[in-house]
């Protein structure tokens, strides 16, 4: 079922991306083209198959590694904050959230 | 630089090593030589950031190491990094306005490893925004031009890396491959590149696009050069959650295997000049269908014939779900991208809009301004396939089809040692030719996507020139952890041919 403009607005909201009316129209066409190409997946019989998340799981079972719950990082606060658009006293500044 | 030391940009890494060791050239001189070439050819738009002082600092350190005798095979040799790898001193933009002025607080593992090996960084290379694209036209900083024809795309997303090596602005470059981004630009620019097995080269410090697919790798003129680079890049990294324990097959240097891999097969009686005797090359008929440009088909057929001359045996195989790789990939990659790129909110780093009402508005406007059209498109597709009610039908179904595609490769490898075919259906196209139709662009990735979904190693090897004198790449696909044998087979081919030694006229 093709997407409609409302879907694009909903997706843009979910993705937290502002979208102009002109972009909405173009995006609608493009996404519908993409989804009609993607639609061919639906016809594939995948009954009983597990999704493949880590490609190497094709040949043997994979488990995500766990590490000991200990501190491994030293303090890089100044370096990590150097790219902040706005900061004050070592804190990231954002617009007021609570009045 | 001694008088008889000529044209470093045409030399192999081994030749550069020898020139450094015999004091024909210093690391500083090499760095200056390549920086000057990069500057002279700035119109290619391959470099996004060069900092001469930083480069020379590393070069002087390399010269000191060389003087002390404590060196690796790569010490003093220049390299440039795709702008997807974060670097502590050079800017890292990922080709996006979102990260226009970003300076990473740390080096990517790959960058660090190559630095530890003594390589000298020349700077950062242009690419499609967040590595999303097949033409380089998605870079926020303008597309890279193909050195073979500057009205054409260099391929993508590692287009800056491929153009840099092809034009001799650096003897080597790093790239990344999510759906073909190492192999396709290598093919379009006539250089050699290898995407290793998923999980063998650390993703730590690679700006994430689709984490279950992203894999870094080397780009250079030849398989022999790639082997040296890959040896320095490979290895387990605790900082990458999907990094694999270093496999048995990597315990011997890959570069050493180049010489020995086929020693046992070229036994007495098979005749001289048949180093690949008995090697079975699988040729999937699905890679040679209607969409394949005749010049590509011809160059690839000639390459396969050359492999047969070297002793290999051609085996007809089938990869029945080749065309399904496109829809599967274009569900999975956007899904992972939409999740990975949610970190860009204009709060901690990256672009922040100048005007906004409140926090939500600030985030939505910052993302709208910071991301380009293709990145937004993929985030929206990803948001859709992961959203309630569609997750099973799209995302999970695509991951199941991914398993089928991957199983097909394992079936094929029962009958052959390598799979070979074209990297891309055509040679490099003109700027603007496909940029208005995202789906048309996606279809160009048909031969590279399956390998990415299966996490297999894949190479592009220059195999000739087609229409308009544009380079064509042969794809060599190996089973998991078979990089050494793939590179060794490609090396035998490159000993017998000279496609990889050709340079575009304006860059000789």
Per-residue pLDDT reduced to its tens digit, B424-434:
999 999 999 99
A23 φ, ψ (degrees, to nearest 5): -65, -35
> How far is CA B148 from each of CA B65, B152, B462, B470, B506, rounded to the nearest angstrom?
37, 8, 13, 7, 8
Question: Residue B66: is its pLDDT beyond 70?
Answer: yes
pLDDT tens digits for range B106-125: 999 999 999 999 999 999 99
Residue B45, helix vs strand vs coil: coil
Min Cα separation B374/chain A (Å)? 10
Known active-site residue B82: yes
Peptide bond into B270 cis (omega under 30): no
Q: What are the tokens at B165? A: 């090596």
- State residue A67's pLDDT score: 86
Min Cα separation B221/chain A (Å)? 29
Residue B121 bridge partners (DSSP): B79
> Which of B51, B115, B132, B49 lies closest to B83, judged by CA?
B49
Q: Are residues B362 and A95, on separate chains, in Cβ contact within 8 Å? A: yes
Q: Rounded distance, CA B448 to CA B195, Å?
A: 10
| Interaxial angle between packed helices B294-309 and B483-496, expressed in degrees from 0 to 180 and rounded to the nearest 10 | 90
Number of Cβ within 10 Å of residue B26's Cβ equals 19
Question: Residue B266: is its pLDDT beyond 50?
Answer: no
- Give pLDDT < 70 ranges for chain A: 1
pTM above 0.90, yes or no: yes
Residue of B101, B105, B367 with shortest CB distance to A76:
B105
- State residue A61's pLDDT score: 85
> How far is CA B380 from each of CA A27, B83, B176, B181, B339, rounded to the nearest angstrom?
9, 24, 23, 22, 11
Average pLDDT over residues B470-490: 98
Contact B298, B305 (CB under 8 A): no
Considering B104, B134, B135, B181, which one is annotated as catalytic?
A: B181
Average pLDDT over residues B98-105: 96
Enclosing H/E stretch for A42 = none
| Interaxial angle between packed helices B13-21 and B27-40, expressed in degrees from 0 to 180 and rounded to the nearest 10 | 130
- Write down the mean pLDDT value for chain B: 95
The per-residue b/e assignment along B261-286, b for 16 or more CB within 10 angstroms, e otherwise, is bbeeebeeeeeeebbbbebbbbbbeb
Considering B82, B97, B221, B365, which one is annotated as catalytic?
A: B82
The interface residues of chain A toward chain B in range 16-75, judged by CB-CB distance below 8 A, are 16-19, 27, 30-31, 33-35, 37-42, 44, 46, 49-56, 58-59, 64-65, 67
Considering B157, B202, B222, B243, which one is annotated as catalytic?
A: B157
> Which of B58, B64, B51, B59 lies closest to B123, judged by CA?
B51
- Confidence label for B263 from pLDDT (cuts 50, 70 and 90): low
Residue B363, helix vs strand vs coil: helix
Contact B353, B365 (CB under 8 A): yes
Min Cα separation B223/chain A (Å)? 24
Q: Rounded distance, CA B424 to CA B177, Å?
A: 14
Known active-site residue B157: yes
ipTM of this complex: 0.96
> Which of B384, B391, B405 lies closest to B328, judged by CA?
B405
């Amino acid at each position: 079922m093709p997407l409609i403009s409302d879907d694009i607005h909903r997706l843009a909201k979910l993705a937290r991306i502002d979208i102009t009316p002109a972009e909405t129209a173009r995006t609608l066409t493009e996404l519908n083209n993409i989804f009609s190409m993607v639609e061919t997946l639906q016809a594939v019989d995948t009954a009983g198959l597990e999704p493949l998340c880590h490609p190497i799981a094709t040949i043997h079972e994979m488990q995500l590694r766990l590490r000991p719950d200990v501190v491994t990082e030293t303090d890089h606060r100044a370096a990590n904050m150097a790219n902040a658009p706005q900061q004050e006293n070592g804190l990231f500044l954002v617009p007021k959230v609570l009045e | 630089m001694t008088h008889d030391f000529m044209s470093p940009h045409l030399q192999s890494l081994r030749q550069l090593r020898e020139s450094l060791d015999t004091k024909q050239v210093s690391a500083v001189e090499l760095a200056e030589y390549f920086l000057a070439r990069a500057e002279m050819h700035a119109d290619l738009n391959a470099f996004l950031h060069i900092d001469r002082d930083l480069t020379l600092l590393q070069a002087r350190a390399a010269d000191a190491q060389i003087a002390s005798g404590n060196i690796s095979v790569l010490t003093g040799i220049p390299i440039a990094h795709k702008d997807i790898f974060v670097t502590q001193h050079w800017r890292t933009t990922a080709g996006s306005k979102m990260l226009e002025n970003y300076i990473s607080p740390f080096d990517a593992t790959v960058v660090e490893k190559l630095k530890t090996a003594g390589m000298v960084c020349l700077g950062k290379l242009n690419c499609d925004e967040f590595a999303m694209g097949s033409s380089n036209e998605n870079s926020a900083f303008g597309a890279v031009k193909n050195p073979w024809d500057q009205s054409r795309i260099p391929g993508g997303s590692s287009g800056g890396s491929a153009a840099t090596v092809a034009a001799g602005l650096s003897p080597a470059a790093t790239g990344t491959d999510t759906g073909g981004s190492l192999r396709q630009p290598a093919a379009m620019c006539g250089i050699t590149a290898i995407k290793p097995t998923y999980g063998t080269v650390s993703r730590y410090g690679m700006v994430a696009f689709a984490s279950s697919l992203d894999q870094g790798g080397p780009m250079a003129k030849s398989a022999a050069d790639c082997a040296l680079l890959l040896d320095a890049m490979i290895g387990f990294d605790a900082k990458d959650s999907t990094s694999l324990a270093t496999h048995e097959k990597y315990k011997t240097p890959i570069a050493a295997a180049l010489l020995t891999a086929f020693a046992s097969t070229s036994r007495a009686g098979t005749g001289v000049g048949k180093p690949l005797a008995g090697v079975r090359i699988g040729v999937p008929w699905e890679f040679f269908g209607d969409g394949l440009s005749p010049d590509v088909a011809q160059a690839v057929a000639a390459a396969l014939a050359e492999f047969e001359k070297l002793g290999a045996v051609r085996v007809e195989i089938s990869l029945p779900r080749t065309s399904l790789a496109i829809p599967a990939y274009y569900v999975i990659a956007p899904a992972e991208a939409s999740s990975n790129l949610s970190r860009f909110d204009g709060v901690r780093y990256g672009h922040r809009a100048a005007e906004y009402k409140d926090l939500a508005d600030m985030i939505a406007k910052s993302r709208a301004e910071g991301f380009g059209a293709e990145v937004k498109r993929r985030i929206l597709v990803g948001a859709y396939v992961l959203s309630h009610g569609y997750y099973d039908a799209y995302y999970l179904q695509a991951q199941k089809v991914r398993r089928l595609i991957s199983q097909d490769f394992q079936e094929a490898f029962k009958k052959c040692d390598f799979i070979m075919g074209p990297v891309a259906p055509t040679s490099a196209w003109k700027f603007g030719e496909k940029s208005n139709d995202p789906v048309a662009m996606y279809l160009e990735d048909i031969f590279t996507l399956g390998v990415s979904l299966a996490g297999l190693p894949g190479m592009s090897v220059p195999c000739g020139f087609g229409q308009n004198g544009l380079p064509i790449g042969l794809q060599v696909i190996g089973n998991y952890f078979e990089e050494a044998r793939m590179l060794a087979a490609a090396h035998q081919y490159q000993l017998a041919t000279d496609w990889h030694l050709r340079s575009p006229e304006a860059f000789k």
